[in-house]
A and B are shown apart, each in its own frame.
Chain A
Amino acid sequence: MAKSSKDSSAVNKGEKPLKKGKKVYRFLGWAMMLSLVVFSPASAPLFMIGMLPSIVTAIFDRKPRKTALQTIACANFCGVMVYAVELWKNGNNTEHLGAILQNHLNWVIMYGSALMGLMAYIVVPIIIALLLDAKTSIESSDLKRQMQALRDEWGSEVADETLEVQFMPLIGPEKP
């Protein structure tokens, strides 16, 4: 069976394709959401509205590992969770949900956390890539230094595998 285009593009760019086991988590996620709707009617709208950035990210994130979704959703979740807890503490009813939703600051916090997640997703990999690059440069210099040391000790012929070299011959039993 041919690999999907998603998988092949991921392989080309160095990412591993999504394993089939991950679909289980997706199913569990949907199951949790459904449970929330059933058993906590006020929390579900809060999560659905508060995690709207995550839902949008889920639609647009085509990467197999969904790292953008993971990052933004986790940050978004943290922001929404603050108000979910408050909702659960205060009766878990729709009136309190309305009060939460009417406060603009709460929107800022919920969506701001998603934004933080997004910023982290954009900036941190760049920083990490730069650090990795610096590490590679150091390793490369070290390699060059070792190779130069070998050339200094054994001559340039050590660098050419195809070159036939002569060694000091050991003359047979006639040596003095």
Chain B
Amino acid sequence: MGAIMSMLPASDTLSATTNTLAGNPLAGNPLAGNPMTGAPSDQSMQDANAAMVGMNPLSLNSPKADPHDDAWLAEEAALLAQVDASAIEKTANAEEFNPANFVLAASRPTVVNLKKNFRILAHRPLPQFDTPSAKAFEALHVRDRERAYYALISDTRLPPRLNMLFGLGNQGVQGLVCPRDWGVVEWLGGRLCYAIVMEQPGSRRLMRDLSDTFAPISDKMVSRTLLAPAFAMLSALAARGYTHRALRLSNMFLSEGHDSTVVFGECYSKPAAYDQPAVFEPVESALCHPLGRGEGGIGDDIYALGVCLAILLNGYNPLNGLSAEQIIDRKLTMGSLNAMMGNARISPMMMEPLKGMLADSHKSRWSLRDLDNWLNGRQSLSHTSVSRPKAARAFQFLGEPYLSLPHLASALGRNWAPAVEEVVKKPMALWLRRSMNDEEKAESFEKLMMQPKFDDATGNDVILSRACNIFYPDGPIFYKGMTFLPDGLKNLLLLSHEDITITTAIHDVIEKRILSYWMARQGHLPLQYTNTLESINGWRKFLNTHGLGFGIERCLYEANPGMLCLSPLVFRYAATDLSSLMKVLDEIAANQPDLTQWQWDTHLAGFILANLQNNGLGFAKMINLEDPAQKRLGWLGLLALVQQKKRLGGLPNLAAALYPWLAPILDLYHSRSRQSRIREELEKAAKSGSLVSMMAILQNYVEILNDKNGFYRARYEYTMLKVKQDEMAMNNQKKMEYNLPIGQNIVAFVAGATAATFLVGVVYKEFAWRFF
């Protein structure tokens, strides 16, 4: 290993070591292709560092301190003692956000806490551990001073591979830098960043820059120090269902000590293969947008390992200085093996692994078992290498000749607008039949052209996408300049909230069944795609439902569990799950109790519903109603459901803020006495902080039914009283007309009775005595 160390260029601890992206990949048009460029020189990196930190010699030139240095330990202890453990110190003048340097280093001692155990020293960058999209800083464990740690700080717009962070935990994998802790921290300038703390792997990278040259490494050395550890590491990952997808020489380190070995760098801070240069990726992955590559399979890691092997055997990168497009074109025309090895002499020992690992077709590429067999001197399973057929006569497209179908498909995918015209108008089936001698593809193409076109403007786009799939079945999906693999679609959703064209394209891909068509043509579907189609069918349902909690935002959270909520209300608090979201809302309510000023938007709703996993559908409907009272009831229902499902304690601030906000809901009870009674009960529940109780009070079945029935009964009574009143009013107008006859009748009756009584009395008095 000392030989390797001497052959490799000396590394300055502060020199640039990574392929830095030319700018923030999220700025500009994400459909413009892979924004990979060559790495800046050491001097420019130093200049960048100087610009970042304001010429503080400590940040620039301080040598890496020996962690066993007592003076250093004393200095750090004094520093930590000055800083309150729960406080985050901000710089006095927050540096202006520069997309090119979005993670800044502090110009004076600054400590950022990551949960309870780690302190990140923001004034001590470690550029030797930088990645293209994350900056490394020194980190300290509060108790463990034996080990050296570093923290990778990156932008929150692209989440890390949370499945690996949760899955690997603290167990680690031999030979791989493993995460010790992670979370969201508030960096300088109040910017939220992801932080992942890992143990420092070694002192130097195998290769700082893709342009480095060195003496070729011997076969034995490379198989012992690279291939064998790689096999062990990849096997351990594969056993847990993970891939690395960040294998490149600049992400490999030599561990310190006499018998130093290769330690493979981190692969968690960004989505899989996001930082990979095109040279290390198989063609179908290199063609994709960095976010569209997906988790991939073990074959992709084997390919990357093969490229590392080829570079080490050559002593240089044969594709150095070429753009990503040029690299892809060369691989498509010459094949990956020829492109990487060229005319170099390959030893018989290395021919087999190079051929197997750099096979362009994933079906004929080596698996881990093949690598294991080779390392142990066993015969590897024979794979039929598939060479791409070439056309007898080239197809001309935009003035360039194309002899192979995958090459043509990649060109069509990159030049979408002219390609649409080409495919629709030119007799390609004829060329396929005569020049390519491929009857099956010609028939498929003819069948495609005969299918009824979609009525909208996307018809030709869909045809072109399917045509590219026919030409290049192993390749990625091309659609309107966006190139991706199926399991990369979920990562592309991360861009959808910034770019409406991506949203539209993803919508089309799902709605027009472009993905289904691609999968149907695969034959044997790779393992990583089996769940993708099912997930995407679920997304179709969300895309077709309009309203809060649905649409592309819902797909984003469904596809990316652990994605932090992007609602402007809570974004800066970095809530990544429902429990943290509720605590954040409670905290916001303490400072901003007027809920009418809150943004109850589709990101918030989508985040909650995605994390509730098919619960809360009734509330989802309510928050989309026009009536503000019912809308608020729906929101309360969702929040209460979260509190219940996550068994959260009281949320007093949130409940107290909700109480006045829910006033319009009480108007849905018509009985005033019931309203005031429920209001009192609601106030009591709000004081306890229980949203569940508040919801239960408002959704009391008996009260609701009694109120409804009571209202109808009251209305009926009122109507009857009104009728009676009207009758009375009418009678009142003619009261004399009605009452006088009554009086006259009474008088007549009384007169008659009086007369009759008088008559009887008189007759009795005067004449009855004669008879009695």
User: CB of B740 within 8 A of chain A?
Assistant: yes
- The residues of B that contact A31 with a CB separation of less than 8 Å are none
For chain A, residues 68 to 83, give those with C-beta under 8 angstroms from any C-beta of chain B.
68, 70-72, 74-75, 77-78, 81-82
User: CB of B746 within 8 A of chain A?
Assistant: yes
Find out whether the CB atom of B728 lies under 8 angstroms from the CB atom of A140. yes
- The residues of B that contact A21 with a CB separation of less than 8 Å are none
A154 to nearest B CB, angstroms? 5
Interface membership of chain B positions 717-751, coded 1 if the CB is closer than 8 angstroms to chain A and 0 otherwise: 11101101100110110111111111111111111
User: CB of A95 within 8 A of chain B?
Assistant: no
For chain A, residues 51 to 66, give those with C-beta under 8 angstroms from any C-beta of chain B.
65
Instruction: Give the complex CA separation of A154 and B728 in angstroms.
Output: 24
For chain A, residues 2 to 50, give those with C-beta under 8 angstroms from any C-beta of chain B.
13-15
A147 to nearest B CB, angstroms? 5
The tally of CB-CB contacts under 8 A between chains A and B is: 191
Instruction: Give the complex CA separation of A173 and B619 in angstroms.
Output: 10
B668 to nearest A CB, angstroms? 4
Q: Which residue of chain A lies nearest to B703 when distances are taken between CB atoms in the complex? A: A168
A132/B752 contact (C-beta < 8 A), A125-B744, A167-B707 known: no
Find out whether the CB atom of B715 lies under 8 angstroms from the CB atom of A158. yes
- Choice from A74, A157, A170 contacting B752 with Cβ under 8 Å: A74
Most buried by B among A72, A89, A168: A168
Find out whether the CB atom of B741 lies under 8 angstroms from the CB atom of A170. no
A84 to nearest B CB, angstroms? 9
User: CB of A108 within 8 A of chain B?
Assistant: no
User: CB of A146 within 8 A of chain B?
Assistant: yes
Find out whether the CB atom of A169 lies under 8 angstroms from the CB atom of B622. yes
- Choice from A67, A155, A159 contacting B745 with Cβ under 8 Å: A67
A48 to nearest B CB, angstroms? 18
User: CB of B363 within 8 A of chain A?
Assistant: no
Find out whether the CB atom of B618 lies under 8 angstroms from the CB atom of A167. no
A174/B735 contact (C-beta < 8 A), A78-B754, A168-B704 known: no
Instruction: Give the complex CA separation of A161 and B741 in angstroms.
Output: 37
Find out whether the CB atom of A129 lies under 8 angstroms from the CB atom of B718. no
Instruction: Give the complex CA separation of A71 and B630 in angstroms.
Output: 71
User: CB of A120 within 8 A of chain B?
Assistant: yes
Interface membership of chain B positions 683-708, coded 1 if the CB is closer than 8 angstroms to chain A and 0 otherwise: 00000000010011011010110011
Find out whether the CB atom of B737 lies under 8 angstroms from the CB atom of A13. yes
- The residues of B that contact A81 with a CB separation of less than 8 Å are 758-759, 762
Find out whether the CB atom of A154 lies under 8 angstroms from the CB atom of B672. yes
Find out whether the CB atom of B734 lies under 8 angstroms from the CB atom of A143. no
Find out whether the CB atom of A89 lies under 8 angstroms from the CB atom of B707. no
A79 to nearest B CB, angstroms? 10
Q: Which residue of chain B lies nearest to A168 when distances are taken between CB atoms in the complex? A: B668
Most buried by A among B644, B714, B762: B714
- Choice from A68, A139, A166, A174 contacting B619 with Cβ under 8 Å: A174
- Choice from A132, A143, A154 contacting B735 with Cβ under 8 Å: A132
Q: Which residue of chain B lies nearest to A175 when distances are taken between CB atoms in the complex? A: B699
Q: Assuming A71-B751, A72-B751, A74-B754, what are 6 further A-B pairs, CB within 8 angstroms?
A: A67-B741, A75-B751, A129-B739, A158-B670, A169-B668, A176-B643
Question: Ordered nearest first, which 7 A-B pairs have the shortest CB separation?
Answer: A125-B743, A129-B739, A128-B743, A74-B755, A70-B748, A74-B751, A174-B618
- Residue positions of A touching B, CB distance < 8 A: 13-15, 65, 67-68, 70-72, 74-75, 77-78, 81-82, 85, 88-89, 117, 120-121, 124-129, 132-133, 136, 139-140, 143-144, 146-147, 150-155, 157-159, 161, 165-176
- Residue positions of B touching A, CB distance < 8 A: 615-619, 622, 627, 629-630, 633, 637, 640-641, 643-644, 665, 668-673, 692, 695-696, 698-699, 701, 703-704, 707-708, 710-711, 714-715, 717-719, 721-722, 724-725, 728-729, 731-732, 734-752, 754-755, 758-759, 762, 766
- What are 5 A-B residue pairs whose CB atoms fall within 8 Å in the complex? A13-B741, A68-B744, A71-B751, A143-B724, A154-B710
